[in-house]
Amino acid sequence: MSLLVLGRNGQLATDLQQAAQQRGMACTALGRAEIDIGDVNQLLRAINVTKPSALINASGYTNVDGAESEGELAFKLNEAAPRAMAEAAAQAKLPFLHVSTDQVFDGTKQGAYTEEDKPNPINLYGRSKLGGEIAVQDHHPDALIVRVSWVWGPSGDNFVKKLLQWASARDELSIVADQIGRPTYSPALANALIDLAAMPNRPKGLLNYAGGDVMSRADQARRVLDASRAHGGPYAIVKDVPTSAFPTPAKRPLNAELAIDKVNALGVPTADFETELRDCIASLLQGKIS
């Protein structure tokens, strides 16, 4: 099996390349410096050259607050580009996996969001990602759209790294306690996407993938900082505050919990947060949380 990954230097794209290498799998990753990800002809040429077994979109505009002032760019990267990718993959009769987000929901539901729940994004980022989901389904009906939540890990920029940076400079951190979700370890997500791409009877449509534990942002912060302290890293006391205490350009869904019953039934592992944190925290601290 071989992969063509769209995205090169981002968190998930980096982890996909590493996971493929660890599994002895050929993987070509192309970022915006190498290809116009919204150009069907360029995408088809890349497919013809690399001859992959599957195409995975790990690119996109991910700055939730920035999208409020950069809407045109967000829709270009999160809706128009996936549309082109889906069209190219369909023409090449190639399996296509596209990564979406919990932010397509408004966060008002009691309990976990399933694949059947109706989206209702409350910020522009979420609207652009929902637009991408619809475009992919319209142009590649057999594509698999994987919704993820609170992605973190050793690569890229994420909440866990920010916590360690903040704790290096402050003794107390105010963290929102009314936002809940499932922290999703990026290397585990990368391996899950490869597993899904390799399935002979690959699912299609929508599928949630997220970590095994549900927690608030404040609880997540406490776990991270406790682990950091145990490894001699930075530590700070976490003070619970409501989301209303931190006005941001983009509204956040308070409930970002995704149901993971379907992906578990497929036999795709979703590890617990403590295990993932133990595997990652030492390397983060050794790398001085870059």
Cβ count within 10 A of residue 251: 18
| Interatomic CA distance for residues 152 and 162, integer angstroms | 10
| Interatomic CA distance for residues 19 and 22, integer angstroms | 5
| Interatomic CA distance for residues 137 and 119, integer angstroms | 15
Told to judge if 125 belongs to the known catalytic residues of this protein, a careful annotator would answer yes
Helix axes 81-91, 124-139, angle to 10 degrees: 20
Catalytic pick among 125, 185, 209, 235:
125
Between strands 96-101 and 54-57, the pairing is parallel
Are 34 and 28 contacting, i.e. CB atoms less than 8 angstroms apart? no
Question: 109, 104, 107, 129: which is closest to 119 by C-alpha?
Answer: 104
Question: Which residues lie below 8 Å from residue 18, measured CB to CB, with a gap of 6+?
Answer: 187, 190
Could you tell me what percentage of the chain is helix, strand and coil, using 3-state DSSP and rounding each to the nearest 5?
A: 45, 15, 40
Active site residue ranges = 125
